[in-house]
A and B are shown apart, each in its own frame.
Chain A
Amino acid sequence: MKRAVFRNRWLPYLLVAPQVAITLVFFFWPAFDSLRLSLYRSSPFGDKLIWVGLANFEKLFGDPAYLRSAVSTFIFSFFVTFVGMGMALLLAALANAKIRGLGVYRTLLLWPYGIAPAVAGIIWLFIFHPSYGILPYALSFVTNYQFNWFLKGWVAMVLITAAAIWKQFGYNLAFYLAGLQAIPESVLEAANVDGAGPVRRFFAMTFPLLSPVTFFLFTLNMTFAFFETFGLVHSVTQGGPGDATAILVYKAWKDGFEGLQLGLSAAQSVVLMLVVILLTAFQFRYAEKRVVY
């Protein structure tokens, strides 16, 4: 790679300055403010700020509702990530074959990614709403089963998991397709000559060669499931029934912006921040080193 040379030694700093400024103002400042706020009990209007040390964290980890929320977040993220990626890989492999109308399939499969999570939520709501949804209505002709996720926690969980998978599907597919296309045909042909069948070829050659993509997608999907599904939960279940779908990011928002318990909410943000840091560190340490390219 050619090194860019700047005549003026300050020019490069000047050029990165806007990016640094944005990062400082929009990322570091709020992050530090959350850290600070998590150590206080704060009144809604900010007139009272009482130092409580780590009491917010203590309260959080002693609260069974928070632990339930953590468990449901992990279940949710696990399924969104693994089921979502598995299905995307399968369809990418199919869409990578030489078939007629491939461009149309690819475009259609990528489509859902263009939809905002909240909009995706509304679409799912219209399909699955127990009283005005089209699907429960159709189901009512064939079965007596009440598709009522207003009262059945696990049904609500399955619903938002499926919606999140659908929403993220195009993204996963795009990366897998790109990954598949980057695999040199000669490698697969060589395996073919050696007598490996399509399944063997996939697991022995294609899948390992895709590992950088898989790793990258794993981190991104985890981040997506942890953070970006807020809009989906907010528009479909609002955390209910009970607190069955109150995932961590939703709970942090709800305690902070509905309950106005800013200290407690900040503490939850700090925990979430640690999760992101861990995920990113994990990505950098392992994705860069251990994965076969």
Chain B
Amino acid sequence: MRWTLKSWTSATWAVALLVTLLAAPAPALAKTEIQFWHAMTGVLGERVGEIAAKFNTSQSEYEVKAIYKGDYTTTLNAAIAAYRAKQPPHVVQVFEVGTQTMLSSGAVYPVFQLMKDNGIAIDWNDLFGPVKSYYSTGGNLYSMAFNSSTPILYYNKDLFKKAGLADKAPGTWAEVEAAAKKVVASGGKCGFSSAWPSWALMENMHAWHDQPFADHSNGYDGLASTLRINGAFGVKMMELLARGSKEGWYVYNGRGPKGEANMSAGECGVFISSSAYIAGLTRASEGKFIWSTGSLPRMDGFPQGNSVIGGATLWVMKGAKAEEYKGVAQFFKYLASTENQAWWAGVTGYLPISNAAVKTLESSGHFAKNPNQLTAITQMRSGKTTPNSQGIRLGNFVSVRDAIEEQMENIFGGKKTAKQGLDDAVAKSNDILKDFAALYK
């Protein structure tokens, strides 16, 4: 090789780079780094980055690195792989259906314990009721409540007007059906639809009508082993929607948040999705159509329960140093502050996790300006928390939800009757629960 000026230049650069790389982790000034793996994209992802940055500038000892790892499933898998390789992140965001998996894993440092060990007092009693009941075990919080939402009803005011309907959210399923039919009759493509089929239409509808979802108080008094969704209520609910699908006023639009595409395009009259969809719908509808929200619809003849929450919490993984845990505790304290909670709920549409934060938002006039953000809170305050509506906690809930949604598709597609589909969903789910229980007996 001939040494030219050019190769000398690149060699110099290479040496310079090497020196920089070696010098980079200057240990004397290093802050204690805290790895925080999350699953939030888009606007929500930006907000997570924002709150981590704010925490980092608020003190000088710790540096929280908020890292997006993919969707909830991918993030959980990444944390599992890292834990198995003995390099877990300090904090990982896990969706609500992963709660039992995390509790049973033996891989987590309970949050209430973490706070106690680090001498940080948090008024757990001030936690917003439904959030507390969903995530507490024996009165203690094992993970840090972070982003919680609950399904609410959305309706497109423009389509309602076109269909000659009053500007009012339908309060019962009979009203939803009537409104949806009118929207379709006036040329609408989608009378009623929803996102998160199992969460919105099965899990929440059972809780909202005080109907059991699984045995052992939905898994709160011990590991659930049997699903109860093939009872009179579940069958009635599915029969209604199967008929709607056949008659054309209910449009099934896929699992997860996929159905939101239709609502965002202004095609659906009535829609059910997470309260956190407010942010997305606001952006999508701007200058195109107007909409409003209401409480979940009621089915006549069944008692009042409450809606349950969804979303995710922050889990602390075992295996880090005490010094690092101290930083995690500080970070959680920062997150839980009334000021930050009010900010977080205000910019995302998630529920504020403490009553104090709700009050702050109320007194600042936030809800007067954003009445839709109050809908979920009003709905949950109007409900009654019972063993059927405190939450649902199942082993391998991800697979159970999947088994339910599979059969919902079979029912809506006319492949199976409501009863047959639900029986099959229960049989498959019970098998999944049995497998989970066999691991932890």
Contacts and interface: CB of A to CB of B under 8 A. Distances in A.
A158 to B, nearest CB: 15
Contact of B413 (A43, A152, A260): A152
B410 A132 contact: no
Contacts of B83: 45-46
A198 interface: no
Given A152-B413, A240-B409, A242-B415, A48 B440 contact: yes
B399 A261 contact: yes
Contacts of A132: 261, 265
B254 interface: yes
B232 interface: no
B239 interface: no
Interface string A97-140: 00000000000000000000000000000000011100000000
Contacts of B6: none
A257 interface: yes
Contacts of A45: 80, 83-84, 105-107
Interface in B250-280: 251-255, 261-262, 265, 267
Interface string A44-58: 111110100000000
A241 B255 CA distance: 10
B252 A151 contact: yes
Contacts of A130: 253
A259 B189 contact: no
Interface in A242-269: 242-243, 254-255, 257-261, 264
Given A45-B84, A241-B409, A260 B439 contact: no
A242 B410 contact: yes
Contacts of B84: 45-46
A261 B105 CA distance: 13
Given A151-B245, A151-B412, A238 B255 contact: yes
A252 B265 CA distance: 35
B41 to A, nearest CB: 16
Nearest to B405: A240
A236 to B, nearest CB: 11
B413 A261 contact: no
A-side interface size class: 20 to 34
A153 interface: yes
A150 interface: yes
Interface residues of B, number: 41
A255 B432 CA distance: 11
B273 to A, nearest CB: 15
Contact of B107 (A47, A150, A151, A254): A47
Contact of A258 (B190, B245, B402): B402
Contacts of A255: 399
A21 interface: no
A151 B411 CA distance: 9
Contacts of A41: 435, 438-439
A229 to B, nearest CB: 20
B73 interface: yes
Given A131-B262, A242-B409, A264-B435, 15 more contacts: A44-B80, A45-B107, A47-B106, A48-B440, A65-B428, A131-B251, A131-B267, A132-B265, A151-B409, A151-B414, A153-B415, A240-B405, A242-B407, A243-B406, A259-B396
Interface of A: 41, 43-48, 50, 65, 130-132, 150-153, 238, 240-243, 254-255, 257-261, 264
Interface of B: 73, 77, 80, 83-84, 101, 104-107, 189-190, 245, 251-255, 261-262, 265, 267, 396, 398-399, 402, 405-407, 409-410, 412-415, 428, 432, 435, 438-440
7 contacts: A44-B105, A131-B189, A131-B251, A242-B409, A259-B432, A260-B80, A260-B398
